[in-house]
Structure 1
């Protein structure tokens, strides 16, 4: 975000425009702009799938109070995501059109810096789950088991469909999947 803000603000890397829609950037100016955009895409792709799950890891499923707080967390999390999208597609677009592109990119860059500083300031308070082996191994185990048990009949006792408490089904460092009637 900082590099994109600089590419819209610093005269040496900002394209010179003859008229409103008549700009001729140099190769270096284009490269700086595209590198900034690719870095934003890479960062977004890396953090988006992890943020909500890391937030969920902060709550203990065994504690009923924290289980309710987890639900509230997701409500506020997605509400914040949508409010951010609304502000980005309305207020920031207005700022870019009426004030300038430097401000239009600078405001979210400052907001991102504040968010990163806020996140790292709470590092000592976070619950970190230990990794339970390779996720690819677990996916392969599920695929192999589903192929092997393709013709197995469903038992009348539905509790037999879920993980057992013995060590045979235990994966070191992972939690058991709770029984639920919400999803078949």
Structure 2
């Protein structure tokens, strides 16, 4: 966001325009602008899937009160994301159109800086759950198992096949087995 703010604010990074000629940015101006966009895309892609999971890790599923708070957290989390998108679509577009692009990029940059400082100021209070096992090994296990069992016929009463092992606890440290539910049944038609 800082690079976009600078490319919209500093005269050396903006294309020089005359009223009679079209504006064309130089190579470095275009490069800085696209570098800012790519860094935003990279940062967004890295943080989006992690934020909600990290928030969910702050609640203990074995405590009923925290289990309810977890549900409320997700409601407020997605509500806040949508309100942020609404404000950005209305207020920031108006600011960019009527005040200037520098302000339009500068306000979200300051908001992001405040959010980062706020996040890191609470670091000592967070619950950090260690991931159990390698995610790539788990992914490979699933792919290999599905390829081996692709043509296996499943009995009608498949409740005994819910888990491959009969242990109560999950094999992977830090994770738990999910309870059986008929809500998401999948039947392959012949």
TM-score normalised by the chain length of structure 1: 0.89
What's the Cα RMSD here? 2.3
Distance 1:169 1:86, change over 3 A: closer
- Residues of 2 paired with 1:21 and 1:67: CA distance? 62
- Check whether the contact 2:133–2:173 (CA below 8 A) recurs between aligned residues: yes
Q: How many pairs align?
A: 184
Q: Is the 8 A contact 1:15 1:23 kept in 2?
A: yes
Q: 1:159: Cα distance to partner?
A: 5.5
Verify: 1:8 aligned to 2:42, yes or no: no
Unmatched 5+ stretches in structure 2:
186-190
| Gap regions ≥5 residues in structure 1 | none
- 2: CA distance between counterparts of 1:173 and 1:20? 66
Cα separation, 1, equivalents of 2:88 and 2:20:
22
Alignment partners' CA distance in 1, 2:145 and 2:98: 59
Q: 1:21 to 1:76 in 2, by over 3 A?
A: farther
Contact 1:163 1:176 in 2 (8 A): no
Matched, 1:180 2:176: no
Contact 2:162/2:180 (<8 A) preserved: no
Q: Tell me which residue corresponds to 1:83.
A: 83
Q: CA deviation at 1:155?
A: 6.3
Offset from partner CA, 1:92-147 (integer Å, 9 cap, x none): 01100000000000000000001101110111111111121211211222222233
State whether structure 2 residue 143 is matched by structure 1 residue 143: yes
Match runs of 1:90-129 below 5 Å: 90-129=90-129
TM-score (norm 2): 0.86
Tell me the equivalent position of 1:52.
Answer: 52
